[in-house]
Chain A
Amino acid sequence: MVEKVTTINVSKLREDFPVLKRLVNGKPLIYFDNAATSQKPESVIETTDRYYREYNANIHRGIHKLAEEATLAHEEAREKIAKFIHAKHTEEIIFTRNATEAINLVAYSWGRANVGKGDKIVLTIMEHHSNTVPWQLLAQEKGATVEYVKIDNDGMLRLEEVHEIIDEKTKIVCVTQASNVLGTINPVKEIGKVAHRYGAMFLVDAAQSVPHMRVDVRDIDCDFFAFSGHKMLGPTGIGVLHGKSEHLRRMPPFLGGGEMIREVHTTGSLWKDIPYKYEAGTPNIVGAIGLGAAVDYLSKIGMENVYEHEREIAKYAIGRMSEVKDLTLYGPRDIAQRVGVLSFNLGDIHAHDLASILDEDGIAIRSGHHCAQPLMEFLNVPAMSRASFYIYNTREEVDVFINALEKARKLFAR
C-alpha cells in the first residue's frame, strides 16, 4: 500500500546535506545515528564559514565594524532560538557548550544555593548520564538523596510513581522530554505540575525533543530547559539553557570571568544582567550563529512536518523490524508515544558486532549503553543497538537496513 507519508520533499532536502553523497565501504552512507549527532545542511556550513571569512571578531565590547556585525549575528541567533522554543524573553536563552553543561549550570548555580541535607532530587530511570551525574554530585556534596521514577514494561514512565516519589522534601524534578534509548515521549507538562504543587523546581532535558518536535517552554511551564545544537543540524560545542528569568536573575553565577561582569574591583565584582551573567569568557560565537542557521532551516520545514516525517519512518521501520526473526525492540509500541529512536537487539548478537556488520553496508548505527547505564541495569540488558532517524532518512534506507540485519542474523546463525 502506498500512502502519502510526508509533506517534506526528502529527495530534494537530501541535496542540502553534502555528507549524504558520501560512500562508506563503497556503499551510499545510511546515517541512522542521529540521536548521537545530526548531519549539517549546506546553509549551516556556509553560515559558519562566512563568519570566519567575513566578520570574525570578538563580540560585545568591540567598537569596530566587524565586532558590531559579529555581535549582531550572535544576538540574532539568540532571538531565533527564543522564538523557536517559544520563550517569553530572549534573555532567558543562555548559551552553553551543550545540554550537559546547561544541566550542570543549574546543578552548580541553583543547586548549590538551594539543595541541602535531607532534601530530595527526583529523576527518572531513563535519564541520560548528563541528567543523572550532575545531580548525584550535588546530592553527595549536600547530603541530599536522589530518587528515580521507574518505567513499565512498555518503556513508559510509571506516572503513579511520579505522584508517590515527589513530596515536600523534593527540591527539583529533572526529566527527559524524549528518551535517547527508548524513544519514549514523557508527559513533561503533567510531571511539572506535580513538581510545582510541592514547590519543587522542574528541569526538562530536551536534547532529544527539540530537534524532532515542536516545543513550547511556556506551555510546558518548566523552570529550566536544556538542549544541544549539534543534534539539531547545528555545530558541535553549542548548547542552550532556557530558564525562567525570575530564577536566572536570582541565582548566583556559574563560571566567573570576562563577559559576565559589570564591574570588577579588588574587593569584589558586580555581575551583568542575564543572559550574560552566565556566559563567562569569549563564547562559541560561530557555534551560536551556526545554530541560528540550523533553527532557520528547521523552521522553514516546520517542526510539525519534521515530527510527522520521522514518525512515518519510525512506523515503517517498526513494522519491518517486527518481521525480523529474534529481534527485540525496546520502548513503546504506540508510535504516538515515541520519537524516531529505535533501540533493539538481534538474537544473541552483541550490539558491537552488529554495528560492525552494518558498517560494512555503509549503515551507521550506535551500539552500547547509550550513556544510560541506570536504564540498561534496570532492563538487565548489557548493550543495545540503536537506529535513530532524522528529516533526511527514507523508507528505502530502512529497507537496506533490514536486509543488513537479515545478513547479520544469518552470519551468526552459522
Chain B
Amino acid sequence: MSSEIYKDIILDYYRNPRNFGDLPEPDVRAKDSNPLCGDIIEMQLKIKDGRVDDIRFKGKGCAISQASASMLTEAVKGKTLDEIKAMGKPYVLELLGIDPGPTRIKCALLGLKVLKLSVYGYLGQAVTEEVKQLV
C-alpha cells in the first residue's frame, strides 16, 4: 500500500464532496458504519421509473470512504435498480482508479453497501448475504 492511493482526485472528492447533504423528500434512505474504524455513510435516494432520479450522501470518516461514496452518487444517477444490485467491488475500484489494498478495501466499499441497502429497502426485499459482507 502506498500514498499513491491518495491521488489528487480522491483528495478532491474528500475535500469537496459532490452530492453531499439531504434530499427534500427522499423515497428511501439507508445508513451503515464500518465497525473497524467508525466510518459512517448515509444515502438518500429519489427513485423514478425504476431508476435513480436523485441521490445525496452524508457521512464521516476517512478520505477513501467519503470519496468513494461521493463518486458513487455521481456514477449511479440514472442507473436502474437492477444495475445497482449487480454492482460489485470491481465497479468501485474502477471509479476510484486505485486499489486501496486489503486493509482499506472495506472503507472503499461502505458507500456501495449503503447504496445497495437503500435499493433493497426501497424494493422491500431481504438484503443478500453478499451485500451484508461487503463491509
Q: What is the total of A-B residue contacts with beta carbons within 8 Å?
A: 53
Whether a CB of chain A sits under 8 angstroms from the CB of B115 is no
Cross-chain contact B104 with A356 (CB below 8 angstroms): yes
Whether a CB of chain A sits under 8 angstroms from the CB of B82 is no
Cross-chain contact B64 with A353 (CB below 8 angstroms): yes
Cross-chain contact B3 with A383 (CB below 8 angstroms): no
For A342-374 the 0/1 string (1 means CB < 8 A from B) is 000000011111001101100000011100000
Docked CA distance A367–B64 (Å): 15
Cross-chain contact A350 with B6 (CB below 8 angstroms): no
Cross-chain contact B37 with A356 (CB below 8 angstroms): no
Docked CA distance A352–B39 (Å): 10
Cβ–Cβ < 8 Å partners of B5 in chain A: 356
Cross-chain contact A414 with B11 (CB below 8 angstroms): yes
Closest B residue by C-beta to A354 = B62
Central interface residue in A350, A360, A407, A414, by most chain B CB within 10 Å = A350
Whether a CB of chain A sits under 8 angstroms from the CB of B63 is yes
Cross-chain contact A382 with B60 (CB below 8 angstroms): yes
Docked CA distance A382–B100 (Å): 22
Residue in B6, B8, B36, B39 whose beta carbon sits within 8 Å of that of A357 in the complex: B6
Closest B residue by C-beta to A408 = B3
- Interface residue SS majority, chain B: loop
Docked CA distance A25–B39 (Å): 27
Central interface residue in B1, B36, B38, by most chain A CB within 10 Å = B38
Docked CA distance A353–B107 (Å): 10
Which residues from 56 to 104 on chain B have a C-beta closer than 8 Å to any C-beta of chain A? Answer: 60-64, 100, 104
Docked CA distance A305–B60 (Å): 43
Q: Report B's interface with A, CB cutoff 8 A.
A: 1-3, 5-6, 8, 11, 36-39, 60-64, 100, 104, 107
Q: Report A's interface with B, CB cutoff 8 A.
A: 25, 349-353, 356-357, 359-360, 367-369, 382-383, 407-408, 411-412, 414
